[in-house]
Structure 1
Amino acid sequence: MNTAEHGGVNWTICQECKGQGKKSRRLSKKVRLLYQKATEQFEKTKGEGTAPDRPKAPLYPCPTCSGSGLVAAACSPAVDKENYPHVAIIGAGIGGVALAVACLHRGIPFTLYERDSHFEARSQGYGLTLQQASKAIEGLGIFSLKDKVISTRHLVHTVEGKVIGEWGTRKWMPDDVKTAPKRTNMHIARQSLRLALLEQLGGDDKVQWGHQLVDFKQDNDTHITLNFQVNGAMKTAKVDLVVGADGIRSSVRRLLIDEDTTPLRYLGCIVILGICPLSVLEGVASPLLDSATIFQTANGNERIYVMPFTADSVMWQLSFPMPEEDAKALSALGPEALKEEAFRRTQWHDPVPQIVAATLDTQISGYPVYDRELLTPALLENNGAVTLLGDAAHPMSPFKGQGANQALLDALSLARGITRGCRPLSNWKAAGIRESVLTEFELEMLERSAVKVKDSAAAAEFLHSEIVLHEGDEPRGRCLKRNDA
């Protein structure tokens, strides 16, 4: 599907694959016969031992929609209140808006609630890198991001400027190769991606702004009553399904799971973030600032990571170990103190100190880094028609760049699950939304994201150790996995 041709159109699910983006091939005769033989053998044992698993049909991208699950339409599909549950989405960050968009394309009724009063009410983070989700956003009707930047080179330096690692398409592809690689890292400002999603939704007036969730109650008739505080008054709403997409300090999660069960877990370091326009770096001529290069510099304790933010600016992320109370105190001092600390710690090779010095205080923030212990299906299985996604379900450190990626994949997975589990004649209302949709969704989400949470926590440790100075043309930490294998 050509990317540029489909901007500004409406989307509906592909009927060939029912919006799943993939189709099933028939099982081969050999596989069918092996399963039949194993089943017959199990029956002969009169149920002793383990029953053979039914083989799953192999999947392939749907050729009609090129794997996106969507096709262009004259208008958005009509809301199907008869067959689908009404979904309350709590939180209008990346994951929440993505779920709303995926529901819109499928005619699933939804209401998107956000405690902030408007789109720009608070910082939504800085830049992010789309990896697995660079394909998933096509499943949300976004085939081109006008503000994206593609990186083709990644360097690791010592503080003196010695290159100790390099990878990326510019290193591995011959200069005369003109075709773009299939896999690239796409960088975009978080708010730019959020805005692109809101445009798919029809604008930010599709969000119920200023709604702070207070609590909810599941009724015997399967409906859920939500209570919000809005402009100092209480407001209620009734829905069939609640999805907490409200971040690492999720109100929905707190109401489902006692905070002491899975408390915030400090990862031992603080992050200071900044955005620096290239235009303010007067007299700094560096090939590292070509808007297509990522570089990081480390000394085994402090580490700075610099990536393209837009075509004419960079984002930097400085991180270093610090006791939790000290990290909280430094963060509370505000941008000026954070910048001063960052500058003091980064008197390294050019253009690192120049970038930090030129960054305006208004473009600097900092915070202690946390995640939570991995959720288990058992902690969610008794929560009825309520579930979580994104950072509310599996918060992780920023060091592997996976938070937004996993949230987008969660959103698409849940919407596709509702389409499958609540199709006409599915009898989901009698079976319950948990049995019909949520159990399968949560199992897939938790299994997929678990390795990302673990890797991100591990990175918080090894990026601030001697391991980061390992010489090799590969991402830091890969040598650890190789040694562990």
Structure 2
Amino acid sequence: MKEGSHEKKYWCICKECQGQGIKRRRISKKVRLSYQLAYCEFEKTKGESEIPNRPVGEVYSCNICNGSGLIKSDTPPKVEKEKFPHVSIIGGGIGGVALAVACFHRGIPFTLYERDKNFNARSQGYGLTLQQASRAIEGFGIFSLKDGVVSTKHIVHNSEGEVIGEWGMRRWVSSDSNLTSKRSNVHIARQSLRSVLLQQLEGNESVKWGHQLVDFEEAENDNIILKFIVNGEIKYNKTNLLVGADGIRSSVRRLLFGDSVDSLRYLDCMVILGICSLSALEDIKSSLLDSATVFQTTNGQERIYIMPYSVDSVMWQLSFPISEEKAKNLSLQGPKVLKEEACRRTQWHSPIPQILEATTENQISGYPVYDRTLLNPALLKCSKQVTLLGDAAHPMSPFKGQGANQALLDALSLARGISKGCNSSNWRDVGIRKSVLSNYEEEMLSRSAIKVKDSASAAKFLHSKIILFKGDKPRGSFSKFKDDI
């Protein structure tokens, strides 16, 4: 991503692509005629032959906005209250804030509700890795991440420290070559990315802290009545579209489906997380701590994954199989016991023991790992004006690093869908579901389904002998050999 300046700037939709970031090339006359002839032949058979596919133009990135869907503006975007539905977003995590920003840039009226009293009320997770979303975040008006760290090498060790796999740009390119981040992962603290997003909404009265949703009701005239607890009092608000972006234990999902539809699914393992400052490791000299290397070590059961968290710290994630009851009990015992457990399980090669020992207890947490079975699209269709995004729609294990990426893609897809679907049709007559939600949910659920499945599979094979296969490729590539182990 390009480095940007710090001056105040605004963004509005690109008129060339109508904020979509992509365009379609026109169908050539030859292709149109060919389709017309094929369709005539189909009609002559009275439907007995195979219907020809209607041709569509090739999709390409808009050359005006370079695919972001946004262009610079000297003034804030105008809120189009008459054109667009009002969107109420429940949850101020990455996905919810991203949707608010995407709506803001596109002139879509919105209100973001977060139950926490303020930004720092509770931990919002540790580090995340932007993969597909490293380009998609430009659709939120973010063209640089000053706190982002690019990794260019990934190394896998066994517990004795032997390298059993290595890949990345520095694996194949000499160290003095001109490396770029085009095909690299960007690591950033979750709170840092959340802060960058919220800065674009700075001073916006549509961000409401301290609002806990307790109920909603779909009413007449395209309205939804929202019921909140605010400072111990009940308050009501109304909206046209309700979006649950409130995480794996989503209140919107529970209120929409009830508790019996699909419970959390335990994935037979837990994680212990920590953040360690590199300054606490001054006496440790290791090429693994160059702020551009991701490495993991495993014994075929326990597995630790260590990545850059910032230019002067790393984040580690230890995971291992354990019963759900024991995982819950261990996580409840607090950071001191979690650190002792992590250290006990990882008396491996340097610098792993030193990193864990140097991690302060206030930077350690742990939890059992859950996801849910894939959401049945028919369930969402039961509501005319309610939908979900991120972990509320498709929670997944952390082992493929896809949770935040998919939430960001969901948010951008939904905002673009509202901008397009409500701009070209009278959504009040045909309804938000037909104008926007059906298309959004089909794309969102289809895209995320493979990530949920792969993340669940990773929870198994990353804690098995499969991960010990030697080869310079990601460990998931070897899971197809599981029957040979």
TM score, norm. by length of structure 1: 0.97
Equivalent residue, structure 2, for 1:435: 434
% identical equivalent positions = 66
Q: Which amino acid in the other structure matches residue 100 of structure 2?
A: A
Equivalent residue, structure 2, for 1:123: 123
1:378-399, Cα deviation, whole Å (9 max, x unpaired): 1111211000000000000000
Q: Does 1:22 align with 2:22?
A: yes
1:421-454, Cα deviation, whole Å (9 max, x unpaired): 1015x11110000000000000000000011111
Equivalent residue, structure 2, for 1:398: 398
1:98-136, Cα deviation, whole Å (9 max, x unpaired): 000000001100000001111111111000000000001
Q: CA deviation at 1:258?
A: 2.8
Distance 1:418 1:344, change over 3 A: same
Separation in 1, partners of 2:418, 2:179: 38
Separation in 1, partners of 2:187, 2:303: 20
1:172-231, Cα deviation, whole Å (9 max, x unpaired): 123453151521100000000000000112258652111110110011222100000111
1:222-269, Cα deviation, whole Å (9 max, x unpaired): 210000011111000110000000000000001111332221000000
Separation in 1, partners of 2:398, 2:8: 32
Equivalent residue, structure 1, for 2:460: 461
Equivalent residue, structure 1, for 2:476: 477
Equivalent residue, structure 2, for 1:234: 234
Q: CA deviation at 1:481?
A: 4.9
Separation in 2, partners of 1:48, 1:233: 65
Determine if contact 1:218/1:224 at 8 Å carries over to the other structure: yes
Q: Does 1:216 align with 2:216?
A: yes
What secondary structure is seen at the aligned counterpart in 2 of 1:477? helix
Quick check: 96-105 or 194-203, which moved more? 194-203
Separation in 2, partners of 1:203, 1:76: 12
Q: Which amino acid in the other structure matches residue 472 of structure 2?
A: D
Q: Point out where structure 1 has 5 or more consecutive residues left out of the alignment.
A: none
Equivalent residue, structure 1, for 2:363: 363
Separation in 2, partners of 1:386, 1:50: 38
Equivalent residue, structure 2, for 1:154: 154
Equivalent residue, structure 1, for 2:173: 173
Determine if contact 1:335/1:361 at 8 Å carries over to the other structure: yes
Distance 1:40 1:236, change over 3 A: same
Determine if contact 2:466/2:482 at 8 Å carries over to the other structure: no
Equivalent residue, structure 2, for 1:447: 446
Determine if contact 1:169/1:181 at 8 Å carries over to the other structure: no
Quick check: 277-286 or 79-88, which moved more? 277-286
Distance 1:483 1:45, change over 3 A: farther
Separation in 1, partners of 2:172, 2:318: 28
Q: CA deviation at 1:345?
A: 0.2
Determine if contact 1:7/1:142 at 8 Å carries over to the other structure: no
Separation in 1, partners of 2:177, 2:442: 42
What secondary structure is seen at the aligned counterpart in 1 of 2:326? helix
Q: Which amino acid in the other structure matches residue 137 of structure 2?
A: I
Separation in 1, partners of 2:5, 2:362: 38
Separation in 2, partners of 1:291, 1:203: 35
What secondary structure is seen at the aligned counterpart in 2 of 1:306? strand
Equivalent residue, structure 2, for 1:299: 299
Q: Which amino acid in the other structure matches residue 304 of structure 1?
A: I
Q: CA deviation at 1:377?
A: 1.5
Q: Which amino acid in the other structure matches residue 458 of structure 1?
A: S
Distance 1:7 1:144, change over 3 A: farther
What pairs with 1:205-284 in structure 2 (closer than 5 Å)? Answer: 206-284=206-284
Distance 1:482 1:412, change over 3 A: farther
Quick check: 393-402 or 2-11, which moved more? 2-11
* Cα-Cα RMSD: 1.7
Q: Which amino acid in the other structure matches residue 467 of structure 2?
A: V
Determine if contact 2:466/2:481 at 8 Å carries over to the other structure: no
Q: CA deviation at 1:419?
A: 0.7
Quick check: 9-18 or 38-47, which moved more? 38-47
Equivalent residue, structure 2, for 1:374: 374
Quick check: 50-59 or 7-16, which moved more? 50-59
Q: Which amino acid in the other structure matches residue 217 of structure 1?
A: E
Q: Which amino acid in the other structure matches residue 262 of structure 2?
A: T
Separation in 1, partners of 2:400, 2:204: 30
Equivalent residue, structure 1, for 2:344: 344
1:457-485, Cα deviation, whole Å (9 max, x unpaired): 0000000000010100001111235899x
Distance 1:279 1:18, change over 3 A: same
Q: Which amino acid in the other structure matches residue 267 of structure 2?
A: L
